[in-house]
Amino acid sequence: MRSRLSLTLVVVSLLQCTRASTFLATYSGYDYYKVQASGPMTSANVKVTCEAAGYLTPCPGDGSCEFTSADCVQTGLTACSSPMNEIAQALCGSNPRQCPAMDGVYSFMGGSGHRGGCGVESGTWCTHGEDYSNRLAFCAQDIGCRSAQCENGASCQGH
């Protein structure tokens, strides 16, 4: 009975961590993913989507960036007002607007000066997330957490 219960817990934990996600790139000690979201692509929804999948919500820049807040994690990205630029460079050698892998992906944007997440839609960069729904959230994971991400239903968010 105990082994059946343990197996059930492992299966449930794995199901919680299998939200549709696609690896994008590794940069500055973090793996970056795009994760299927549900609802408007606001910064709050990007954060909820990342956390529900066991990932971190990367800030668009360092501590001096006006769009960085306590609701995101500084992961080494520094482009600030050009969110996801480093990952698009790693993937496509260009900015997000010219990188097909970034189409439909929305980044968290803290602060009051931005309407929702900042995303890429059909070659337009930094579309306002509150105008789009059911797209992809830009998420991250510390590379030191790769093997522990979903053990026992836990994530490596506090790492």
Cβ-contact 60, 107 below 8 angstroms: yes
Higher pLDDT, 46 or 3: 46
Q: What is the pTM of this model?
A: 0.82
pLDDT tens digits, one per residue of 37-95: 999 999 999 999 999 999 999 999 999 999 999 999 999 999 999 999 999 999 999 99
- Rg of the chain on CA atoms, in Å: 16
Cβ-contact 41, 116 below 8 angstroms: yes
